[in-house]
Structure 1
């Protein structure tokens, strides 16, 4: 377990985006129709790589030279893609505002860099499949790139160990963040993003302290009631997941499906992380590696220190001290 903790800590420290967590490299492109088949585009959320260098490709019958997009009488229908999605820009939202009818939104991710732009008609089976693939992959990407969520889950695994207690703990965390994710996505609750991220970091500090208590022979709250702690903090983390969807401007008719696929993607990513962690624990036990004496406290201090660093940085951002 000590070698595993060192690996997790090193990976976390080498992740530059960890401090910002959910302030992801998302670009939002608004395409507003000004006359039949003619659009004017602008980045309402400019991607990290800079809007001028985004490799945006329109359908073949369209002529694109930002900010102008000309598609003629056929209109903006067909495949649209961004060729240079990656670590600098993980996703982009294309929001189309027609002269008549509702605005439509399409999300491009590195896993699905091409979307099919549809007309204003009702979604087809093909469009539902595309929607599912897009948000499923986005959910997986979001959890696996969320160093703070993974560190929290790792702390829970460290405290409760393997077996039934781990199953109930992870289940409680899943239920907690699923409830708050849905509530936040539908606007039932709302928390500003920066204070929320500071609270998420503080939850990891709490888990780090609990690990140290346990290694000193004290039964902390997490060790006694892991499901309650996991479920409670899961509510906080779920609102953090919802922040990933907040800026996408998803159509109301598509929101339930997008939310469902996104949450499934989050669960798949989380389950994959838990299984990999358990596999590393098994391998560590087979090797029989042991650290001497007081170094047994090192993982708890490391997790708590990293989370405290995140908390201070995020708190400064809340106070606008950049």
Structure 2
């Protein structure tokens, strides 16, 4: 039975790997460039020349005043055009069509002439966004908190790293210290990256994140030798946490921070990341506890097999991301 564990986990991770493009959110930017005049940027996830069938719908009071300029940038299809809306967009509804048939959501960001910014998450269950007269701090906090949770729970490489740390550590005190060190480290570089204080190019960062998972997986296999990671797992988690923070920061830079509530948005996004991480850790510990109570399972053997599985997946990601540099 224990031999089935890696294959079950492999099937779980294969689904997000196959749909990685579809899990990226679409992005709608609406900039008020003059009273009742708006510049629209619509970015839709794409694979090659194929893009998702997602469409922006403005209220009936709006009319298109320029032809869309379209093109592909990296893994997205981008369209830009202008609209004129009688009376402006305040208290009006903007919607996204097609979300119900995809695996993604959309992030909408409206920048008004007075500098206020409204950021909203649009999903298949709630495909409309009502434009607020003056966005509230509570709404901003809620949006970025949910975005943080969504980002970590869909960040399968980050979760696999956390799972590897859980397999490496044998006692609760070391586990708490290690998770705290990882949290502190990626909070630092997340803030630095999002605020533009320090940054790193995303492709190398993503490749190095995969390499960090490979390293911890190899340390699990060699943990009986009393290596550095076994003695000081908090140090390993802190050093690699700095790297993972740049990965989180890259995602947050794409989303953008509201000018009026930068500290609040940054804090709540980070809290969302931590909440999602704690949910994952709790679920993993519960699963490990349930398996440990079953005498039919050889826990040590399962741990070793999972380490090999994690290392194999991380190695595949590393090669894939290196190939993506070209």
Q: Please give the TM-score of this superposition, normalised by the length of structure 2.
A: 0.81
1:164 corresponds in structure 2 to: 173
Match of 1:94 in 2: 109
Residue in 2 aligned with 1:135?
Answer: 144
Whether 1:58 and 2:58 are equivalent positions in the alignment is yes
Q: Which residue of 1 aligns with 2:266?
A: 259
- 1:42-89 per-residue CA deviation (whole Å, 9 max, x = no partner) reads 32x333497783243435x633567453421x2111243335446543
Shift of 1:105: 5.0
**How far has the Cα of 1:305 moved from its partner?**
1.1
Which residue in the other structure is 1:37 paired with? 36
Find the partner of 2:158 among 131, 134, 149: 149
Find the counterpart in structure 2 of residue 14 from structure 1.
15
For 1:277, the equivalent position in structure 2 comes to 284
Distance 1:277 1:187 in 2: 34
Distance 2:39 2:299 in 1: 65
Gaps of 5+ in 1: none
Question: Are 1:27 and 2:26 an aligned pair?
Answer: yes
Indicate if the aligned counterparts of 2:116 and 2:259 stay in contact, CA closer than 8 A: no
Corresponding residue number in structure 2 for 1:71: 85
State the Cα RMSD in Å. Answer: 3.1
How far 1:172 moved relative to its partner?
A: 0.8
Cα distance in 2 between the residues matched to 1:117 and 1:294: 55
Alpha-carbon displacement from aligned partner over 1:201-252 (angstroms, at most 9, x marks no partner): 00000011001102xx211221110111111111111111111111223233
1:290 and 1:52 map into 2 onto residues whose CA distance is 44
TM superposition shift of 1:310 = 0.4
User: Residue 117 of structure 1 aligns with which residue?
Assistant: 131
Distance 2:187 2:34 in 1: 42
Instruction: Tell me, yes or no, if structure 1 residue 317 matches structure 2 residue 317.
Output: no
**Aligned-partner Cα distance in 2 for 1:290–1:260:** 42
CA distance, structure 2, for counterparts of residue 76 and residue 293 of structure 1: 60
- Note the alpha carbon deviations across 1:179-199, whole angstroms, 9 max, x for none: 111111111110001100001
Distance in structure 1 (CA, Å) of the matches to 2:117 and 2:61: 18
Q: Retained in 2: the 8 A contact 1:175–1:231?
A: yes
Is the 8 Å Cα contact of residues 213 and 220 (structure 1) preserved in structure 2?
A: yes
Once the two structures are superposed, residues 147-189 of structure 1 have per-residue CA deviations (whole angstroms, 9 ceiling, x without a partner) of: 1011000000001035111111111111111111111111111
Matches within 5 A, 1:141-220: 141-214=150-223, 217-220=224-227
Question: Which is worse superposed, 24-33 or 162-171?
Answer: 24-33
Provide, for residues 19-49 of structure 1, a one-character-per-residue CA deviation record: whole Å limited to 9, x for no partner. 77xx962333333446532334232x33349
The verdict on how the C-alpha distance between 1:180 and 1:35 changes in structure 2, with shifts beyond 3 A counting, is closer
Count of equivalent residues: 305
Cα distance in 1 between the residues matched to 2:301 and 2:289: 23
Partner of 1:289: 296
Q: Specify the SS of the correspondent of 2:30.
A: strand
Distance in 2 (CA, whole Å) between partners of 1:270 and 1:211 is: 21
The whole-number CA distance in structure 1 between the counterparts of 2:18 and 2:41 is 26
- Counterpart check, 1:228 vs 2:241: no
Which gives a bigger RCO, structure 1 or 2 (Cα 8 Å, sep 6+)? 1
Distance in 1 (CA, whole Å) between partners of 2:194 and 2:177 is: 25
TM-score normalised by the chain length of structure 1:
0.82
Asked whether the 8 Å contact 1:108–1:114 carries over to 2, the reply is no
Distance of 1:129 and 1:75 partners within structure 2: 24
Query: For the Cα contact (< 8 Å) 2:166–2:175, is it kept in 1?
Result: yes
Quick check: 262-271 or 47-56, which moved more?
Answer: 47-56
Preserved contact between residue 18 and residue 148 of structure 1 (Cα < 8 Å): no
2:152 touches 2:277 (CA, 8 Å); kept in 1?
Answer: yes
